[in-house]
């Protein structure tokens, strides 16, 4: 079996639509099909089920991938040592909404500027979804903002973040106890988000008194509602509302006796092979964040 056959096989595991994959890598569908059939012939059995226009990894294909992928990545690293630019590859990441929308874009931009042979495929999910993607092997690394614990996942602290209570009601420009604000219409992130989890956890026993009026997965919807409705209130990362506070369209409401702090984490599966490209990217994120 050839290195190219293996490279195409692992790529198709994540992108079963052969026509789309063909366009992405600028290789004809027939060439891709021939390479996969050649690999299957050498192994003596099919690795994919042909369903419609898709190649769906079958049970033998999954066994082959699980038992060979780490060795392939090691071989890829060894091959890269002999190239003029020594690091290349594709890194698949997912980030929680705060990190993904307000922190990672600039870090990724700066990283790619100096690592021209590395490609990053990035998506935004909530922390719970990211943990599932890691366990399913669909991403290489995640960046989350919650205290999720899982024996299958390695978690490394990156930085600390502050959550703040915000509203457009200027009469709240004073220090208040959190329960003095429970009469407001609280708009929170959806269940599973790190922002919501940290906020509710810090409320302690008084969380039973809080009534959630609305919930959203998108920050922009929450901020727009806050700006247009003085009776609305929320708790968001300071990174999310920096511009709105500077423009005086939202107010940072000071809370007595509670600080809503949390950590940003880098997470990956404990059995994940950390390639040279992934190790360099992880180090770059730690230094940048």
Q: 162-261 has which CATH code?
A: 3.40.190.10
Alpha-carbon gap, residue 99 to 91, rounded angstroms? 17
Confidence class of residue 187 from pLDDT cuts 50, 70 and 90?
A: very high
Domain ranges of the chain: 1-82, 162-261
Which residue's structure tokens are 């890269």? 80
Measure the CA dihedral 199/200/205/209, to 10°.
110
Distances (CA, A) of 209 to 89, 175, 178, 180: 50, 20, 11, 11
The CATH code that applies to domain 1-82 is 1.10.10.10
Taking each helix axis from N to C end, the angle separating 59-80 and 3-14, rounded to the nearest 10 degrees, works out to 120
In DSSP notation, 33-69 reads: HHHHHHHHHHHTS-SEEEETTEEEE-HHHHHHHHHHH
pLDDT per residue over 71-86, tens digit each? 888 777 776 665 545 6
Q: What is the predicted pLDDT for the residue at 179? A: 94
State CA 42 to chain mean position distance. 37
Tell me the average pLDDT across 255-272. Answer: 93
The overall pTM is greater than 0.85: no
pLDDT average, residue stretch 142-161: 93
Query: With contact defined as beta carbons under 8 Å apart, do 280 and 115 qualify?
Result: yes
pLDDT of residue 59: 86
């Amino acid at each position: 079996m050839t290195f190219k056959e293996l490279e195409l096989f692992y790529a198709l595991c994540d992108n079963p639509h052969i026509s789309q994959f063909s366009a992405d890598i600028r290789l004809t569908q027939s060439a891709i099909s021939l390479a996969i059939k050649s690999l299957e012939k050498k192994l003596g059995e099919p690795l994919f089920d042909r369903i419609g226009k898709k190649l769906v990894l079958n049970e033998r294909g999954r066994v082959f991938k699980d038992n060979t992928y780490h060795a392939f990545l090691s071989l890829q690293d060894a091959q890269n040592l002999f190239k003029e630019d020594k690091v290349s590859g594709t890194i698949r990441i997912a980030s929680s909404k705060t990190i993904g929308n307000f922190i990672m874009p600039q870090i990724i931009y700066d990283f790619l500027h100096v690592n021209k042979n590395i490609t990053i495929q990035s998506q935004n999910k909530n922390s719970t979804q990211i943990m599932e993607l890691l366990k399913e092997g669909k991403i290489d690394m995640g960046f989350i903002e919650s205290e999720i614990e899982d024996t299958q996942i390695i978690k490394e602290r990156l930085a600390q973040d502050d959550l703040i209570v915000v509203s457009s009601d200027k009469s709240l420009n004073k220090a208040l106890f959190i329960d003095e604000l429970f009469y407001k219409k609280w708009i929170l992130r959806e269940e599973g988000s790190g922002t919501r989890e940290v906020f509710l956890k810090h409320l302690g026993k008084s969380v039973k008194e809080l009534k959630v009026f609305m919930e959203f997965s998108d920050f922009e919807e929450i901020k727009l509602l806050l700006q247009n409705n003085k009776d609305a209130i929320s708790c968001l990362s300071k990174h999310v509302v920096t511009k709105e506070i500077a423009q005086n369209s939202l107010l940072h409401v000071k809370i007595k006796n509670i600080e809503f702090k949390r950590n940003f984490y880098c997470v990956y599966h404990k059995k994940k092979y950390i390639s040279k490209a992934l190790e360099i990217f992880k180090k770059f994120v730690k230094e940048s964040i």
